[in-house]
Structure 1
């Protein structure tokens, strides 16, 4: 069972890395230039919204962390043994907590970017902000696609976090609260 769970975790982490890189690339490379007046051209990039800039940085950091964890999972699957044993419960706690931090950070930055994107779609008369998506439609469509990829990534990372929780709490006894199982 541990080998098949390790393979599933490795597959989920690989998919999460690919989706994180795809999301960061979609946002980071999104740019559109449009002529506003005859000679005045306006170029819009992700750097105009701070939430999109934060999204790129956090997605890249999460992808790097997930890639390191993927290498750990791959080594444990190839060697046919679990790298986290009863003696390394502190390491298991660290992996679990870091997985939780990554899931929450990616979800938070995607939610902030979705809020900023909604403001770009609707505009704000009170703040005198124009609707960007009336003029920069391709930019907005690509940002919408990257937000969708970001939320799919959140689902994948949450599933990875479930497997990390299982790997941690399988070390503890089911009958005695927070006591390690005996070594067999």
Structure 2
């Protein structure tokens, strides 16, 4: 019973990761603004900053990954009433490493996008970067506001899932105290 409850909790955490990372990807991908500058219409979209492009791709891939694994959790919890992979060290290692990789990739993409957003807001004179957000205020408000918050919340929830995955992995190994007693 405890194993089924653990699978349900992991499934709901993975659904939360799916929702937050897909929301971040959608907010950033659908954010655009047009301005007329010197009689020419200019558009600001996520495709012009490589870090935003990478954020959308990585958040979308992370959402798909967590959606697949949340389906696995719910199928094991409700249909099978047990986890056939619970004793498998290979499956635990693969799950742990993939969770870590997805978490770190999302964190790196989110941090890079946040850094680019701060450069767009405050400018860097040494790099001759002007304040992009003075021109495209609506684009920057959605990028830094809801898009960035969703991406960081998704990263935090993925870190919780990765720590749960680490717990599932390392509980398969005996503790040093139990080795000494034997």
TM-score of the superposition, structure 1-length normalised? Answer: 0.90
Per the alignment, in what secondary structure is the counterpart of residue 127 of structure 2?
Answer: coil
- The structure with the greater share of residues assigned to helix is 2
Aligned length: 176
- Alignment match, 1:120: 120
Corresponding residue number in structure 2 for 1:55? 55
Match of 1:32 in 2: 33
1:138 aligns with 2:135: no
Q: Which residue of 1 aligns with 2:94?
A: 94
Mark the runs of 5 or more structure 1 residues left unpaired by the alignment. Answer: 180-184
What secondary structure does 1:17 align onto?
helix
Distance in 2, Cα, partners of 1:33 & 1:50? 19
Residue 72 in structure 1 maps to residue 72 in structure 2: yes
2: distance between equivalents of 1:85 and 1:67? Answer: 20
Aligned residue for 1:126, secondary structure, equals helix
- Structure 2 unaligned blocks of 5 or more: none
Alpha-carbon RMSD:
1.5
For the pair 1:152 / 2:153, whether they are aligned, the reply is: yes
Q: Displacement of 1:176 after TM fit? A: 6.2
The 2-side partners of 1:160 and 1:10 are apart by 10
The equivalent residue for 1:84 is 85
Shift of residue 147, structure 1, vs aligned partner: 1.0
Residue 182 of structure 1 is matched in structure 2 by: none
- The worse-fitting range, judged by mean Cα deviation, of 8-17 and 76-85 is 76-85
The ranges of structure 1 where at least 4 consecutive aligned residues each deviate by more than 4 angstroms after the TM superposition are none
Query: Secondary structure of the residue that 1:173 maps to in structure 2?
Result: coil
- 2:167 partner SS: helix
